[in-house]
Amino acid sequence: MKLTRRVKEILSWYESDNPGTKANLARILMSGKLGGTGRMVILPVDQGFEHGPARSFAPNPPAYDPLYHFELAIEAGLNAYAAPLGMIEAGAATYAGCIPTILKVNSSNSLSTTKDQAVTATVADALRLGCSAIGFTIYPASEHQFEMMEELRELAAEAKACGLAVVVWSYPRGPMLDKAGETALDICAYAAHMAALIGAHIIKVKPPTSTISLEAAKKTYEAHPVDLKDAAARIAHVVKAAFNGRRLVVFSGGEAKSSEALLEEVRAIHAGGGHGSIVGRNAFQRPKEEALKLLSAMIEIYRGRP
């Protein structure tokens, strides 16, 4: 496989990584219909853990089958498929080598009142299953944020030493943030920056809204304004916070919404220099044909053909 100039340039941003990690990042960046472009669409299916099976899969019952998600990601020509241990194990042999996988190594569930996640898989699992990366969620602002960051530090060091890449879901939540604060522009940018500081290769955040939440940051945003009304400008601000664009930043899809609403977000991510989307519910909760159509429309936007 010949790497494109763009992928070589992206790999050059990761100056401390060994050839194994770079090869795994290259695998993700070169796979699927967006392979080589520097943009990505990834399918994450950890919602069964996070929200429960019925809330996740009842809208499209074939999605109860773990193999369905491998098929969907492969047929859609996505860059990678991310899931917790059981989901990856369930299709590991059938789909070995068919699509890069990201093993989600910590998980939360809706039966807990604390904002925390349990470590549910290991770096050894990721290697055994042929994954290209581990995935880890941190909740900046939660009562457990520092333990989560310390767990990530340890797992990321181990993963990198074994030549794996590290994908960080950086989702602010906790007592000091109201619902609007969780996706406020300053908070999303802060979350992306912290993930970069902990050593993430790929950072996943939610699309930022026009709210500025942190009292201490308001003056700075007044002095150095971002065009809050422009979704692309907000995306660009988050990407800037991730080492001035020297880290890959992808944006999540959120709850199921209309295709047009999702594509509008994707246009803003593309225009703002975001590196792609990691979209779960909006893909697997639709009937497969519809999901394939939507994913294909997203890919077209990232290919610069809106």
- Nearest Cα neighbor of 51 from 111, 117, 92, 4 is 111
Q: Could you give the CA distance from residue 231 to residue 262 in angstroms, rounded to a whole number?
A: 13
Angle at 268 between CA 266 and CA 271, to 5 degrees: 110
48 forms part of the interface with ligand FBP (CB under 6 A): no
- Is residue 177 a contact residue for ligand FBP (CB under 6 A)? no
- Is residue 44 part of the contact set for ligand FBP (CB under 6 A)? yes
Q: Which is nearer to ligand FBP, 31 or 277 (CB)?
A: 277
Is residue 233 within 8 Å of residue 226, measured between CB atoms?
yes
Exposure of 111 by Cβ count < 10 A (0-12 exposed, 13-18 middle, 19+ buried)? exposed
Sole window of 62-70, 84-92, 279-287, 295-303 interacting with ligand FBP (rule: CB under 6 A): 279-287
Q: Where are the beta strands (DSSP E) in 97-217?
A: 101-104, 106-107, 118-119, 133-138, 165-170, 202-205
| Catalytic site includes residue 204 | yes
- Binding flag, residue 270, ligand FBP (CB under 6 A): no
Exactly one of 115, 160, 204, 206 is catalytic; which is it? 204
Dihedral, CA atoms, 305, 247, 251, 300, nearest 10 degrees?
10
| 220-259 footprint of ligand FBP as x/- string (CB under 6 A) | --------------------------------xxx-----
Alpha carbon distance 7, 3 (integer Å): 6
How distant is the alpha carbon of residue 126 from its chain centre? Answer: 17
47 binds ligand FBP, rule: CB under 6 A:
yes
* Integer-rounded Cα radius of gyration of the chain: 18
Size of the site for ligand FBP (CB under 6 A): 15
One of 57, 70, 81, 171 touching ligand FBP (CB under 6 A) = 171
169 binds ligand FBP (CB under 6 A): yes
Q: Is 172 among the residues that bind ligand FBP (CB under 6 A)?
A: no
Using the rule CB under 6 A, is 274 a contact of ligand FBP?
no
**CB distance 18 to 160 below 8 Å:** yes
- Work out which of 34, 106, 280, 286 binds ligand FBP, going by CB under 6 A: 280
Q: Which region, judged by CB under 6 A, interacts with ligand FBP, from 40-48, 60-68, 93-101, 226-234? A: 40-48
Active site residues: 204
**For binding to ligand FBP (CB under 6 A), which residues are involved?**
44, 46-47, 50-51, 169, 171, 252-254, 278-282
